Amino acid sequence: MASPNADTTPPEPWYAKPTDEIFSALKTDETGISSDEAGRRLSEYGPNEIHEAERTSVLDLLLSQFRNPLIYLLVVAALLSLGTGFLPGGEPSYTEAVFIVLIIVANGVFGFVQDYQATRSIEALRELATPDATVLRDGEKRSIDAEKVVPGDVIYLEQGDAIPADARVLATEELRTNESPLTGESTPVEKTTGTVDEDTPLAERRNIVYKNTTVVKGRGRAVVVETGMETEVGGIATQLDEAEDRQTPFQAEVEHLGKQIGVLVVSLIVLVVAVQYLFTATEPTAILLVGITLAVAGVPEGLPAVVTFTLALGAREMVDRNALVRRLPVVESLGSVDVIVTDKTGTVTENEMTVTRLYASGSVIDFSGSSPSSATGDGNSQRVAANGNQRCDSEVSPLLRCGRLCNNVARTDDGEYRGEPTEIALRRIADDAEIDPAGERVREIQFSSERKRMTVVVEDGGPTAYMKGAPGTVLERCDSVLEGGDVQELTDEKRQDILDKTESFAADALRVLGFASKSLDDPSADAEQIEDGMVFLGLQGMLDPPREEVEDAIADCRSAGIRTVLATGDNLTTARAVGEQIGLDPDGALTGGDITEQSDDELGRTIEDVDVFARVEPDHKVRVLNALQGNGHNVVMTGDGVNDAPALTQADVGVAMGQRGTDVARQASDMILQDDNFATIRDAIREGRGIFENVRKFVNYLVSTNTGEVLVVFLGVLLGSLLFPSQFSATSQALILTPILILWINLAADTLPALALGADPHADGLMDRPPRPTDEGVINARVLVSILTIAVLLAVTGLGIFFYTLDRTGSILRAQTLLFTFIVVVELIRIQVIRSRYDQTLRSNRWLVGAIGVSLLIQLAVLYTPLNDFFQVVPPTLVEWGWIAVGFGVFLLLNVVVSALNSRIFESRISE
């Protein structure tokens, strides 16, 4: 126990201490504490609540969208465009500045809208707080606000209660709690009052009840040992609060790309200014104008907006596939995933107990779903479902009917089952098999942990007793067995066969119950007489079964080079069995205790050979993730419970369940599966891979354009200053391309087609390839070579047209117009050249066809309408279009040669 100001000392092992030591340490007893003492402790330890993390304001969320090096460069470009008004003889370029500002705003709005819905994980934990609690104060039972519960309080627990704090159990009447949100344990946990060993894992501390878990059966009394942030759920909140936001690889690459572009632009500006100032007669004002032009040419104005738009488009596609993305960059990160660490309960399983195997009349009946369809066992085969419907035959019906009658589950008008999960499973299979529940209950002999059985007496054409319980205990009360509709003597051989079947069921991680019945003469007899001389009916084995589609989804992921690891709070036997059922290797499975015993280096070595982890707690999951990430893996973590939140936050991509997941898990995640379907992760990964390819296409397209523009301005100004000094010395004629023309190319001619690329259909076979290496960015070696070679070809052919026109006409304005038009045409055609490397035709993307058509029409409007005065261009003649065509032919020929060389150097078919 620690006060809010305490240091990080190890938590007290309350589960390992005798009750009298706990009372002494807490200064309390069976009668609880006084109101005055409770008030003092509330001041000392603080309210029993989960502390809120500092909230991110809407303004901060909005501003965060603009903290990006490329955005900074765009801001500088806008300021430089306005800055031309301060140069001698210059005028501010409001149009350029407005265009750039619109790009910045559009990018920010895209990102802000996507992030606005995100809420803080700690806020979700706070919402889980229980509204009230029943405590013993001043010797009296009182209902108080749960936030006022303090260490030392004695609390009362009833079925349906949410537990207000971590507490040590003092008394129990069949008290069972649902701890799956905290520990991952899929079945209710029976609570006891004795001590357990100090090294007992969280999921096996049967004498402790935990804050924010619930009572599903029975009642009890407990003494509060920890409250607020000192509880187990509070410890998770602390881990979430301390977790650092992880940059996705794509975020880091875009940031790095922005910095590289900034350094390149500044370096070129310095070089050009120095060369012109030292070796030419260019006016200082003209030199500054060239610097501004280089800045505008070097910044890919449309890149941030296009990236954000494409990710948002991918996020929308994923919503249609039941995957809700909470952070846009995660869409791209899915494309490089190579490990999925998945929780069991509610993720790969149904999160409900289901009867999956029966033993009746000497045969084992295996089936899928909630009703039996066929029987196999001991070499026999029989029909259990008649005529394709759900009615079971006479040999199985008595077993299912016993489970139906010896059952306290209620069913609401809307068909919902309410009760203990084990009994719900028995009731559901009986209902599905249309078992007749006729018969009025006369008496119930309750289940207890000592008796390990429950019996009911039903008026069923005469009083009949029905029993269920631990198979060994039920067998002890039986002297006969029902086989083939006849009651036969329960011989030692048959008894051993039933025990062997029980062991085989348990070895497959099934929870096994035995069932028996007998007719009664006197229903008022004592329990011993009623429960003696029973007829054994059979066994029912149940578990939380894997979802039907999970095994295929895991197999598909394996084909895509993605490994799946199961990490669950269940026991080792269950974890191994479920792992094997979904196609994982159970050999070498480890427990949370094994993880604790290993150093980080040891775990890093063993993690590569382990598919299944059992009895894991939150810190174990984080260590597993750290080990995988330390080995260079890009990891998805799935989960639905409070216990999963730290690992969801730490993972490269945290995936929560939308239907069965807790608010905490959903708020800690990057993506939410709205259908709780593991197969949706596979579909999301495929979508992520396709989005990455589209991102690579338009990054190649846009960056090569801007690089080519920079080379055109850089080389053109230097060559022009040397070859045509008289024309390039004046301020009005110092440029190869004006800033407004460059901006037009970047926004109208390039951005529209690039946006349409975001809707490109995904290539076939995406899930037949291994994941891309985590250190491979959007611009890999091959794309970089492509960008540089295309930029050089564009500069060489474009400047050839420019200087040829200038030499023939003597008009720098006409030369600028033809160069401007040439670049637009080349870029619009080049976009299909890039796509052809992915075996995609122009017709496969109607949006791209439309975007290219619109860009061409706008370009013609700029050339042949009064807009040409605004852009300071002249209409090209038919002959000049011929010059452009010749230049384009040369460019295309060189491009084919360079692409062929590029393909020889790099073996991958997908090149750009």
Query: What dihedral angle (degrees, nearest 10) is formed by the CA atoms of 549, 550, 556, 557?
Result: 150
Q: Residue length, the chain?
A: 912
Q: What are the tokens at 655?
A: 């995936």
Helix, strand or coil, per DSSP, at residue 644: helix
d(CA 631, CA 716): 49
CA angle 306, 308, 314 (to 5 degrees): 100
Helix, strand or coil, per DSSP, at residue 109: helix
Give the amino acid at 267.
S
Judged on CB neighbours under 10 Å (0-12, 13-18, 19+), 119 is middle
Cα 643 to chain centroid, rounded: 15
Q: 144 forms bridges with which residues in the sheet?
A: 133
Q: Which residue has the tokens 């490990």?
A: 339
CA angle 31, 33, 36 (to 5 degrees): 145
d(CA 747, CA 757): 15
DSSP 339: E
Helix, strand or coil, per DSSP, at residue 585: coil
Cβ proximity of 687 and 770 under 8 Å: no
Cβ proximity of 42 and 151 under 8 Å: no
Q: How far is CA 167 from CA 138, 210, 603, 897, in A?
A: 19, 7, 33, 75
Torsions phi, psi for 25 (to 5 deg): -65, -35
d(CA 669, CA 657): 9
Closest Cα partner for 318 from 835, 677, 776? 677
Query: What dihedral angle (degrees, nearest 10) is formed by the CA atoms of 25, 28, 29, 32?
Result: -150
Closest Cα partner for 11 from 234, 179, 204? 234
Please state at what angle helix 781-809 crosses helix 878-905, rounded to 10 degrees. 160
The residue from 153, 161, 166, 343 that is catalytic is 343
Cβ proximity of 114 and 312 under 8 Å: yes
d(CA 700, CA 681): 28
Cβ proximity of 652 and 297 under 8 Å: no
**What is the distance between the terminal CA atoms of the chain, rounded to a whole angstrom?**
60
The three-state DSSP-derived secondary structure of 703-761 is HHHHHHHHHHHHHHHHHHHHHCHHHHCCHHHCCCCCHHHHHHHHHHHHHHHHHHHCCCC
The question of whether 343 is a catalytic residue gets the answer yes
Closest Cα partner for 681 from 593, 556, 775, 868? 556
CA angle 596, 601, 606 (to 5 degrees): 75
Paired sense of beta strands 612-614 and 563-567, if any:
parallel
Query: What dihedral angle (degrees, nearest 10) is formed by the CA atoms of 830, 833, 834, 835?
Result: 120
Q: What are the tokens at 726?
A: 């008289």
Closest Cα partner for 567 from 550, 552, 584, 542? 584
Q: Which H/E stretch holds residue 325?
A: strand 323-325
Q: What are the tokens at 148?
A: 């006022």
Active site residues: 343
